[in-house]
């Protein structure tokens, strides 16, 4: 695949390449394959590298690899890991309904692990990460992997994740009209992605209400988790609820709320100081997981 070096003003260059998963890589994934964009740090590495499978935000309806490229490039440059950003199917009024995006997300994670050797990746050092709806899919991939008997990642980075379908929480009430994410935006997104309102009760959506994170005799616990939260964000409350539920279920969680920030701040590190801090913290957590 064609590649090129791209220089970010704040971060070292990374090599960027494009791939497409084989058609129908898993039973539920896109029949024509799932495109991915691969970011490889140009720093010298001995042997294989860790990897981060990254899912962009946008409510399962909007967003793109290019819009969220600053986050993917920063994660690659700051951790030394190969970042695989996933171009999962986006929902419309008639197409790609739940769980299409979640199944593409799982397929991409499985493809990376299945093909770790040819991608120069250490299969024991693969993490998942995502922002907003992408954060929801990152933890969803962990749930699907353990349900399907597939190896889990070593860490999950959840940046202001969608974790519930309750639009009456304290932060939804306080920040209903917030920018860039409002309550109306969420209603629009779920209206397109869900087949019906009952999809909102699925364990992959209502993580804090329905999902069971406890380890069992046949399913391992979820991996250590980093949650990055924005203050001026309707999703703030469900992020704390997810933190508390994971902790109660025996999952190691590192949670940080960045005061004064809004939803989508994570990728704005060239302009917003708290975003620089969040990127550094996320990278430190991931590097620790990769040790």
Which residue from 155, 140, 133, 159 is spatially nearest to 227, judged by alpha carbons?
A: 159
Active site annotation includes 11: no
Phi (first) and psi of residue 172, to 5 degrees: -65, -40
132 is catalytic: yes
Q: Does position 267 have pLDDT exceeding 90, yes or no?
A: yes
Among 11, 56, 155, 263, the active-site one is 263
- Given a cut of 80, whether residue 6 has pLDDT beyond it is no
Sign of the alpha-carbon torsion through 119, 279, 255, 181 = negative
For residue 1, pLDDT beyond 50: no
- What are all long-range contacts of 259-262, with beta carbons under 8 Å and residues at least 24 apart? 259/231, 260/231, 260/232, 261/230, 261/231, 261/232, 261/233, 262/178, 262/179, 262/180, 262/181, 262/230, 262/231, 262/232, 262/233
What is residue 217's predicted lDDT score, i.e. its pLDDT? 92
> For 183-234, what is each residue's pLDDT tens digit?
999 999 999 999 999 999 999 999 999 888 999 999 999 999 999 999 999 9
Residue 2: band (very low, low, confident or very high) from pLDDT cuts 50, 70, 90? very low
Catalytic residue among 71, 132, 171, 206: 132
Q: Where are the alpha helices (DSSP H) in the chain?
A: 69-79, 100-114, 133-147, 170-174, 183-193, 236-248, 273-290
Kind and range of the H or E run holding 258: strand 253-262
**Residue-level pLDDT at 89:** 99
What is the count of structural domains for the chain? Answer: 1
CATH number where 235 lies:
3.40.50.1820
Domain extent, residue 241, equals 3-290
**Catalytic residue at 263?**
yes
Question: What's the confidence (pLDDT) of residue 10?
Answer: 58
- The per-residue pLDDT for range 99-132, each reduced to its tens digit, is 999 999 999 999 999 999 999 999 999 999 999 9
pLDDT for res 12: 57
42 SS3 class: coil
Residues 156-170 have a mean pLDDT of 98
SS3 146: helix
Mean pLDDT computed over 72-79: 97
Whether the per-residue pLDDT at 11 is higher than 70: the answer is: no
């Amino acid at each position: 695949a064609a590649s090129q070096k791209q220089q970010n003003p704040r971060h070292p260059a990374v090599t960027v390449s494009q791939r497409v998963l084989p058609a129908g890589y898993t039973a539920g994934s896109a029949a024509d394959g799932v495109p991915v964009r691969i970011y490889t740090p140009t720093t010298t590495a001995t042997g294989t590298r860790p990897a981060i499978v990254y899912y962009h935000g946008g409510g399962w309806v909007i967003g793109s690899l290019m819009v969220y490229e600053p986050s993917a490039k920063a994660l690659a440059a700051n951790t030394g890991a190969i970042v695989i950003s996933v171009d999962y199917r986006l929902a419309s009024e008639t197409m790609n309904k739940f769980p299409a995006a979640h199944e593409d997300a799982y397929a991409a994670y499985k493809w990376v692990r299945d093909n770790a050797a040819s991608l120069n990746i250490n299969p024991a050092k693969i993490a998942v990460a995502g922002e907003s709806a992408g954060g929801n899919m990152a933890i969803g991939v962990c749930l699907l992997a353990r349900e399907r008997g597939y190896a889990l990642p070593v860490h999950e980075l959840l940046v202001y994740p969608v974790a519930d379908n309750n639009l009456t929480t304290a932060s939804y009430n306080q920040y209903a009209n917030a920018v860039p994410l409002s309550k109306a935006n969420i209603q629009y997104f779920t209206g397109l992605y869900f087949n019906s309102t009952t999809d909102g009760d699925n364990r992959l959506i209502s993580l804090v209400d329905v999902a069971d994170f406890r380890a069992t005799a046949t399913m391992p616990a979820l991996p250590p988790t980093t949650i990055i939260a924005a203050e001026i964000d309707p999703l703030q409350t469900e992020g704390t609820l997810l933190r508390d539920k994971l902790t109660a279920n025996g999952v190691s969680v590192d949670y940080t709320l960045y005061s004064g920030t809004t939803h989508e701040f994570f990728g704005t590190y060239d302009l917003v100081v708290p975003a620089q801090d969040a990127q550094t913290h996320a990278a430190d957590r991931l590097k620790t997981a990769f040790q």
